[in-house]
Amino acid sequence: MNELVQLLTPEGERVHPPDHDQDFDAETLRGFYRDMVLVRRIDTEATALQRHGELGLWAQLLGQEAAQIGAGRALRAQDHVFPTYREHGVAYTRGIDPLDLLGLFRGVDHGGWDPAQKHFGHYTIVIGAQTLHAVGYAMGMQRDGVIGTGDPDRDAAVVAHFGDGASSQGDVNEAFIFAASYNAPVVFFCQNNQWAISEPIERQSRIPLYQRARGFGFPGVRVDGNDVLATYAVTQAALQRARDGEGPTLVEAYTYRMGAHTTTDDPTRYRLNADLEHWKLKDPIARLEVYLRRHGLVDDAFLADLKSEADALGHHLREGCKAMPDPPPTAIFDHVYAEETEELRAQREGFVAYRETFEAHHPQEVAR
Amino acid sequence: MNELVQLLTPEGERVHPPDHDQDFDAETLRGFYRDMVLVRRIDTEATALQRHGELGLWAQLLGQEAAQIGAGRALRAQDHVFPTYREHGVAYTRGIDPLDLLGLFRGVDHGGWDPAQKHFGHYTIVIGAQTLHAVGYAMGMQRDGVIGTGDPDRDAAVVAHFGDGASSQGDVNEAFIFAASYNAPVVFFCQNNQWAISEPIERQSRIPLYQRARGFGFPGVRVDGNDVLATYAVTQAALQRARDGEGPTLVEAYTYRMGAHTTTDDPTRYRLNADLEHWKLKDPIARLEVYLRRHGLVDDAFLADLKSEADALGHHLREGCKAMPDPPPTAIFDHVYAEETEELRAQREGFVAYRETFEAHHPQEVAR
Amino acid sequence: MSAAGTETTQRITLARGLNAGLRRAMEDDDKVLVMGEDVGKLGGVFRITDGLQKDFGEDRVIDSPLAEAGIVGTAVGLALRGYRPVVEIQFDGFVYPAYDQIVCQVAKMHYRSRGRSKMPMVIRIPFGGGIGAVEHHSESPEAQFAHTPGLKVVACSNPVDGYWMIQQAIACDDPVIFLEPKRQYHADKADLDVDVDATPDPLFASRVVRRGDDVTVLAYGPQVKIALAAAEAAAAEGQSLEVIDLRTLSPLDMGPVLASVRRTGRAVVTHEAHVNLGMGAEIAARITEECFYSLEAPVLRVGGYDTPYPASRNEEEFLPDLDRVLDAVDRSLDF
Amino acid sequence: MSAAGTETTQRITLARGLNAGLRRAMEDDDKVLVMGEDVGKLGGVFRITDGLQKDFGEDRVIDSPLAEAGIVGTAVGLALRGYRPVVEIQFDGFVYPAYDQIVCQVAKMHYRSRGRSKMPMVIRIPFGGGIGAVEHHSESPEAQFAHTPGLKVVACSNPVDGYWMIQQAIACDDPVIFLEPKRQYHADKADLDVDVDATPDPLFASRVVRRGDDVTVLAYGPQVKIALAAAEAAAAEGQSLEVIDLRTLSPLDMGPVLASVRRTGRAVVTHEAHVNLGMGAEIAARITEECFYSLEAPVLRVGGYDTPYPASRNEEEFLPDLDRVLDAVDRSLDF
Ligand SMILES: Cc1ncc(C[n+]2csc(CCOP(=O)(O)OP(=O)(O)O)c2C)c(N)n1
Ligand SMILES: Cc1ncc(C[n+]2csc(CCOP(=O)(O)OP(=O)(O)O)c2C)c(N)n1
Ligand SMILES: [Mg+2]
Ligand SMILES: [Mg+2]
């Protein structure tokens, strides 16, 4: 499969593709490694929190760490990201406290960060809807004059994340059309983890997904999504193209969903264990670790420090999650509108009055 | 533009492309010519009827006769067509009385033929919606075992018509995905007449539309849509592929909308007259006429007969249209359901009773 | 091999009732197809189509690409070709990408063709909240479909109805939006008699599920259980509530409703959907038109508030519960 | 250069009022964008955006590819980037491909983000029938949007309101579904005072447009003219109708409505949308809840029948007209 851009093989060997090769210093490589380890820890902790009833659900990213760290680290501060519900790794690169990701899955809010401040949109659950938002946002950047000025601190681009299943949605294909028509500065980043819940990629497309882009008039690249170096290099190039005003690119990060779709899913009903075992050999973290160790770029002290850091992160998540307060009942009525209507105000008041009739009878119950 | 399949040049010269060449006997060629002349007459008459207030609207096909006759004549009886609102030429090849096309535009019904009997669906006005119906119908053919049996009277396929503008709709792209996924026996026939009302094709796609198909994993072909021979040959091949079980094809018939979008449109607001003049030189009927005359395949008698036939058709349309009765008022309530609800029956009865109160006062008014 | 096995009575959940009903419909008519996301090997995220692909094959139980307009749009084509597609929408909140196909195509095909093209399609939608889910997984979209002429809309509330109603909906020559209260799927069991030639209630009929004299409580889907619990609680305080399971939302079967309200003089409607322009509005308007002089109080409505569905830790306060129904009953009685 | 030119008073149609309002909003705030199919050179199929692209350029008046989800979805992104998109849906019946983006994204973004992401978008929809058009060109989808929390829904009925309301809707930080009665676009003229610093009525307010004592008639959009004509005709027969132009459908401004009904004791609501679950249902339910003891008759509803929109030769019978409004008034008075 030589159409796949790869810089680091599953065996941890550095290879040099003609198009996207790049040198990385030790610091950067260690950084990628650290990122992936920490992000996997976020995922493991959140999964455990779900098992312990602290979260209602968790969408695991196990196996997709390289794709997300590569894509996330290629961003500049001024770039903007539109995620699905699984981009915990990208969120982490945007400086979002992983605790803020849990609120949605715990059921205390629909997303705990400020999209404008973090340059990272809210998780979008309706498959594909965010890709159009990404294109519109990119059109806004065009109108703001932050494309193709040559100033690296000014030129910006957008990344639209989506999955292999999402590639079948009308919205996603319309996003391709609008992006091509307006030459919008957007990178379509598809994590092809080969499953849309129980449906294999073959149900969505009979040919490699990256080829879809050509039919809309812009380039598509397939990158080894379990190779953080390749993902970084390819995304960086695509982002630069966009910032330079050369328009959209589709990046297909070829990876594998090593976990279940979410914590409520049971993949044994629809896929072979052998498949999973095969992909474990391509683990994104293991291959970078082999490379780093072989070249003496990490030592035991680094790894021990990282382990402590991960443990601390785990602790932060566990304690933070359990301490996360439930929203007050009246939160139901907050922020429906920027300018609240009298109608809704009256409904809120009715709600409060109604609850007060109970409070009189069962004060504790209502207090929480 | 050698990507364009052409068998007959605008100057009426026969050329022989490597892939889709075909021999046509004189009878067939005269048939095509006759078809196009009659279909243009239908269009002219309907346009005139609109001007005289007999139709509320008419969607003209002027300039698209070759695309439609080529596509329509390539069908076998058992094939099934899903049209837009402009496929008057295809409808004619399916044996639909052109008068039945007028009802929709006169406002007496939403379509006057039986889709199952004519193997020609109802005109669909919501752009692109019918392409999914076409794929579903083709999936039904697969389940009925009428694909790839080798029996020419049994093997069947579907044609989904749509325009260049429609290529931007989510539905159309989803139709591509479903067709590819199920390898459905469907020909996507896109008449790229270069305009979606006032928007030029460049707004929808920056590359030739036929290339869209490749990104979904099936072939696309661009054919000279003003060349009835080429359109026929290319559609026939695509249909045969579909009937043989080899899956979908996108045919882009490259043509030009010589009229307005509809009779209510004013193209002078958005396009240059020079453009139209340029395309007049590529007229689909003129070029075949030149060819037929040059090779002595038509004589004055044939042309005179055809003229009488067209005149008779015009007469039929004019008289038929004017005589078309308005639906009775209660038609509003007919066929909402296959199994009418009591609720609706009551509403209908209320309507009748209400009108009867008027009848008592103004008998004539209600009678119509 | 039928899910019924050899016994004539089973204790089943709503999920099993629907599964058995689908199975029987597929056995009875080989034009019946099941389509949707993950309906094959997985058996759907709620397992309603469990085992069907194994027994009926991939041609009849079709895993669709991830695109709701595509699913419903291809189902339209299959229906035009003579099939009877049963479409599963994975969650209520994901029906909207298919909204155009449903309201402009599915609903209008029979009318457009003046009866020549039938559209015997069932669109199954697991609906409503109460399962602690994330955004878009707890919606109640029924009013929008009920407002659309050409569609029929029903909601089942219990395992036995699930079994029969799904078969009746599939047998109906009109498109039916079939709402399934997802929080009931695995909640309660009921006795189902599958082998007898039972004559179930008609599909488009409401049913009095508890007799009473003081106030009529109207509910459907997930709220029927709550209305019954409210009636039980009210009885302890000497109030006699009549509870009607509406079952059909379009058409409405107003006969039993009007008869009841003429007797009780009071009505409360409850649903999870937003109150504003929810089913309760229509029912209140019709009752008032028909029983103006019988009414002792205005028809009162209990429903989801007019806010988006909240984060799940707030859904208990958002959803109508026994107390809110009783509160409305009291307000009606005090009027 | 403003459409207002130098005169302060113009006689304008609704189409011109909207055009002038859009122009002024674009002059006042350069974040305001216009987008949609054919809104550029053509000026829209109804010419509402006539001349705007010429004067404000292709970056601010954007011809979109032919895809409504794409139009609204990209408008969401533009709004998130700080723009104020005004989207034109070409005809009512073509809003449904964008339905998912509208109800799941536009309506919910502010709530989802707990107020961090505003969604100041206007979605203009020419709505209603009466122009003899083919299928899908005469729909009245307002109830579906009014049922959706997070959206605001208004309908203008005359040229002066068109001019002011479009500007107010654009200035609103919430998404507004802006309904324009297409059969009124070029029908009547009114005097518009553009240069004075007028203080128009608030956007979310109903307005009594004719005083009367016997029956309150509630209308919006294309039905306001009909309600006024009915009042005129009724006056000749000695009946005094109060007519209220609702103007805002979500939120409803019930104050003037309730005050009127408390006085008249009778109300008739009229709209082109299907009666079943139309705005009339909600209004009837609310009036009855609030004015139970003032009502002499149930609130009566006049509307489109519960059928798909018919072929245009039948639309006259389908649409509520003066006679049907008066018939309801008579029935109310006879109750
Ligand atoms: C419109 C819509 N339909 C269905 C769903 C239910 N659903 C949630 S995730 C999912 C599969 C998504 O697959 P993919 O795009 O490959 O992303 P992945 O989950 O693999 O990251 C489905 C069907 C949804 N969220 N939205
Ligand atoms: C969903 C939808 N949006 C908008 C329209 C209005 N409309 C009717 S025809 C048309 C242009 C169609 O262009 P194209 O697909 O190229 O077909 P053509 O009319 O050129 O044959 C538009 C925008 C519609 N009918 N349906
Ligand atoms: Mg996937
Ligand atoms: Mg076109």
For C273-314, what is each residue's pLDDT tens digit? 999 999 999 999 999 999 999 999 999 999 999 999 999 999
State the alpha helices, DSSP H only, in chain D: 14-28, 52-56, 68-80, 99-100, 109-112, 142-146, 159-171, 223-236, 254-264, 279-290, 315-318, 322-334
Specify whether A32 is located in the same domain as A172.
yes
Instruction: List ligand 2's pocket residues with C-beta within 6 A.
Output: B 86, 125-127, 163-166, 193, 195-197, 257, 261; D 37, 66, 68, 90, 94, 97
Q: How many Å from the N-terminal Cα to the C-terminal Cα in chain B?
A: 57
D32 bridge partner residues: D84
Residue A318 and residue A56 in contact, taking contact as beta carbons nearer than 8 Å: no
Minimal CA separation from A4 to chain C, in Å:
25
Q: What is the pLDDT of residue A120?
A: 98
Distance of alpha carbon D334 from alpha carbon B206, whole angstroms: 66
CB distance C70 to ligand 1 below 6 Å: no
Do β-strands D61-63 and B80-82 pair in parallel, antiparallel, or remain unpaired? Answer: unpaired
Specify whether A264 is located in the same domain as A338.
no
The one-letter amino acid code at D288 reads: T
* Contact (CB<8Å) C108/D277: no
Specify whether B223 is located in the same domain as B362.
no
Specify whether A250 is located in the same domain as A349.
no
CA distances from D93 to C151, D34, D65, D90 (A): 17, 20, 18, 9
CA distances from D46 to A74, A179, C334, D37 (A): 46, 27, 54, 12
C9 bridge partner residues: C193
Residue C319, CB-side half-sphere exposure with 13 Å CA sphere? 22
HEC-encoded secondary structure of A152-188: CCCCCCEEEEEECHHHHCHHHHHHHHHHHHHCCCEEE
Distance of alpha carbon A24 from alpha carbon A21, whole angstroms: 10
Residue A65 and residue A36 in contact, taking contact as beta carbons nearer than 8 Å: yes
Q: Which atom of ligand 2 is nearest to the CA of B169?
A: 1
**What's the pLDDT band for A367 if we cut at 50, 70, 90?**
very low
Specify whether B216 is located in the same domain as B357.
no
List strands edge to edge, sheet with C207-210: C207-210, C241-245, C215-219, C267-274, C300-304
* Contact (CB<8Å) B198/D40: yes
Distance of alpha carbon C316 from alpha carbon C322, whole angstroms: 11
Ligand 1 midpoint to CA A172 (Å): 13
Ligand 2 midpoint to CA B104 (Å): 16
pLDDT tens figures, A11-39: 999 999 999 999 999 999 999 999 999 99
Q: Note whether residue A151 is domain-resident.
A: yes
Residue D76 and residue D109 in contact, taking contact as beta carbons nearer than 8 Å: yes
Q: What angle do CA B141, B146, B149 make, to 5 degrees?
A: 150
Tokens of A326: 């439930």
pLDDT tens figures, C152-181: 999 999 999 999 999 999 999 999 999 999
Residue B250, CB-side half-sphere exposure with 13 Å CA sphere? 32
Determine whether B261 is an active site residue.
yes
Phi, psi of D250 (to 5 degrees): -155, 115
pLDDT tens figures, B104-162: 999 999 988 999 999 999 999 999 999 999 999 999 999 999 999 999 999 999 999 99
Q: At which residue do the structure tokens 């203080």 appear?
A: D199
Residue C28, CB-side half-sphere exposure with 13 Å CA sphere? 11
Do β-strands D176-181 and D207-210 pair in parallel, antiparallel, or remain unpaired? Answer: unpaired
* Contact (CB<8Å) B115/C80: yes
Q: What is the mean pLDDT of residues D220-238?
A: 98
Residue A271 and residue A195 in contact, taking contact as beta carbons nearer than 8 Å: yes
Q: Note whether residue A277 is domain-resident.
A: yes
Ligand 2 midpoint to CA D9 (Å): 38
Specify whether A75 is located in the same domain as A216.
yes
DSSP codes joined into one string, B49-109: HHHTTSSS-----TT-HHHHHHHHHT--TT-EEE--S--HHHHHHTT--HHHHHHHHHTS-
Q: What is the mean pLDDT of residues D294-307?
A: 98
Q: Which atom of ligand 2 is nearest to the CA of B166?
A: 15
Best mutation target among B54, B109, B126 (most D Cβ atoms within 10 Å) is B126
Determine whether B270 is an active site residue.
yes
CB distance A165 to ligand 1 below 6 Å: yes
C252 bridge partner residues: C249
Q: Note whether residue A19 is domain-resident.
A: no
Specify whether B263 is located in the same domain as B343.
no
Best mutation target among D59, D68, D74, D108 (most A Cβ atoms within 10 Å) is D74
CA distances from C117 to B107, B138, B350, D304 (A): 20, 16, 27, 24
Ligand 4 midpoint to CA C256 (Å): 54
CA distances from C76 to B140, C58, C61, C107, D176 (A): 11, 19, 16, 10, 33
Do β-strands D32-36 and D267-274 pair in parallel, antiparallel, or remain unpaired? Answer: unpaired
* Contact (CB<8Å) D314/B329: yes
Q: What is the pLDDT of residue D7?
A: 63
Residue D207, CB-side half-sphere exposure with 13 Å CA sphere? 18
Minimal CA separation from C125 to chain D, in Å:
16
Sign of the alpha-carbon dihedral angle for B178, B182, B186, B188: positive
pLDDT surpassing 50 at residue B366:
no
Phi, psi of B216 (to 5 degrees): -100, -5
User: D13 in the Ramachandran plot: left (φ > 0), alpha (ψ -120 to 50) or beta?
Assistant: beta
Specify whether A274 is located in the same domain as A340.
no
Size of interface B-D (CB pairs under 8 A): 115
Ligand 4 midpoint to CA B264 (Å): 16
Residues of chain D neighbouring A335 (CB-CB closer than 8 A): 110-111, 113-115
User: What residue ranges in B242-351 does DSSP mark as E strands?
Assistant: 249-254
Q: What is the pLDDT of residue C196?
A: 60
* Contact (CB<8Å) B143/C59: yes
Catalytic residue, from A40, A222, A261, A287: name it: A261
Distance of alpha carbon A229 from alpha carbon A224, whole angstroms: 9
pLDDT surpassing 90 at residue A2:
no
Task: Please give the domain boundaries of chain C with CATH numbers for all domains.
Answer: 2-184 (3.40.50.970), 207-334 (3.40.50.920)
Ligand 1 midpoint to CA C90 (Å): 10
Specify whether A203 is located in the same domain as A100.
yes
List the shell of residues around ion ligand 3, using CB closer than 5 Å: A 163-164, 193, 196
Among residues 293-312 of chain D, which lie with CB inside 8 Å of chain C?
Answer: 297-301, 305-308
HEC-encoded secondary structure of B152-211: CCCCCCEEEEEECHHHHCHHHHHHHHHHHHHCCCEEEEEEECCEECCEEHHHHCCCCHHH
Q: At which residue do the structure tokens 């008075």 appear?
A: D333
* Contact (CB<8Å) B269/D41: yes
pLDDT mean for each 10 residues of chain C (335 residues): 59 96 98 98 98 98 98 98 98 98 98 98 98 98 98 97 97 98 95 78 98 98 98 97 98 98 98 98 98 98 98 97 98 96
Q: Which of B197, B198, B204, B209 to mutate to test the pocket of ligand 2 (most atoms within 8 A of CB)?
A: B197
pLDDT surpassing 60 at residue A111:
yes
Q: Note whether residue A261 is domain-resident.
A: yes
Among residues 239-258 of chain C, which lie with CB inside 8 Å of chain D?
Answer: 250
Catalytic residue, from B88, B119, B261, B287: name it: B261
- Give the nearest chain B residue to C83 (CA atoms): B140
Q: What is the pLDDT of residue B107?
A: 97
pLDDT tens figures, A196-207: 999 999 999 999
Q: Which is higher by pLDDT, A367 or B172?
A: B172
**What's the pLDDT band for D54 if we cut at 50, 70, 90?**
very high
Q: Note whether residue B198 is domain-resident.
A: yes
Q: Does C136 touch chain D (CB under 8 A)?
A: yes
Domain of A97 in residue numbering reads as 26-322
SS3 A110: coil
pLDDT surpassing 50 at residue D2:
no
Specify whether A236 is located in the same domain as A297.
yes
User: What residue ranges in chain A does DSSP mark as E strands?
Assistant: 4-5, 80-82, 158-163, 186-192, 195-196, 199-200, 220-224, 249-254
Distance of alpha carbon D253 from alpha carbon D154, whole angstroms: 11
Domain total for chain A? 2
Distance of alpha carbon B356 from alpha carbon A306, whole angstroms: 87
Minimal CA separation from D12 to chain A, in Å:
31
Q: Is the ipTM of this complex over 0.95?
A: yes
**What's the pLDDT band for B52 if we cut at 50, 70, 90?**
very high
Distance of alpha carbon A345 from alpha carbon A351, whole angstroms: 10
pLDDT surpassing 90 at residue A1:
no
pLDDT surpassing 60 at residue B273:
yes
D88 bridge partner residues: D36, D124
Residues of chain A neighbouring C317 (CB-CB closer than 8 A): 329, 332, 351, 355
Residues from C contacting A (CB-CB < 8 Å) are 37-38, 40-43, 45, 63-67, 69-70, 93-94, 96-97, 132-137, 276, 305-308, 310-315, 317-318, 323-324, 327
Distance of alpha carbon D326 from alpha carbon D302, whole angstroms: 10
Catalytic residue, from D110, D136, D137, D271: name it: D137
Which residues fall within 8 angstroms of residue D100, CB to CB, at 6 or more apart?
Answer: A126, A129, A171, C96, C97, C99, D69
Residue among D108, D135, D280 whose CB faces C308 most closely: D108
In 3D space, the residue among B249, B247, B295 whose CA is nearest the CA of residue B19 turns out to be: B249
Q: Note whether residue B349 is domain-resident.
A: yes
Catalytic residue, from C137, C147, C186, C274: name it: C137
* Contact (CB<8Å) B215/A213: yes
Tokens of D292: 């139970």
SS3 A291: helix
Output the CA torsion D232→D238→D239→D240 (10° steps): 70
Q: Which of A87, A164, A197, A201 to mutate to test the pocket of ligand 1 (most atoms within 8 A of CB)?
A: A197
Q: Note whether residue B92 is domain-resident.
A: yes
Specify whether A212 is located in the same domain as A170.
yes
Specify whether A301 is located in the same domain as A333.
no
Residue with the smallest CA separation from ligand 2 atom 3 is: D94
Minimal CA separation from A157 to chain C, in Å:
28
Q: What is the pLDDT of residue B362?
A: 59
Give, for C11, the enclosing helix (H) or strand (E).
strand C9-12
CA distances from C84 to A315, B79, C70 (A): 54, 21, 16
Residues of chain A neighbouring D82 (CB-CB closer than 8 A): 140
Q: Note whether residue B13 is domain-resident.
A: no
Q: What is the mean pLDDT of residues B276-290?
A: 96
Give the other-Cβ count within 10 Å of D278's Cβ: 29
Residue D138 and residue D130 in contact, taking contact as beta carbons nearer than 8 Å: yes
pTM, two decimals, is: 0.98
Residues of chain C neighbouring B178 (CB-CB closer than 8 A): 64-65, 67, 70, 74
Which residues fall within 8 angstroms of residue A283, CB to CB, at 6 or more apart?
Answer: A10, A63, A226, A258
Q: What angle do CA D101, D102, D108 make, to 5 degrees?
A: 95
Catalytic residue, from B51, B52, B214, B270: name it: B270
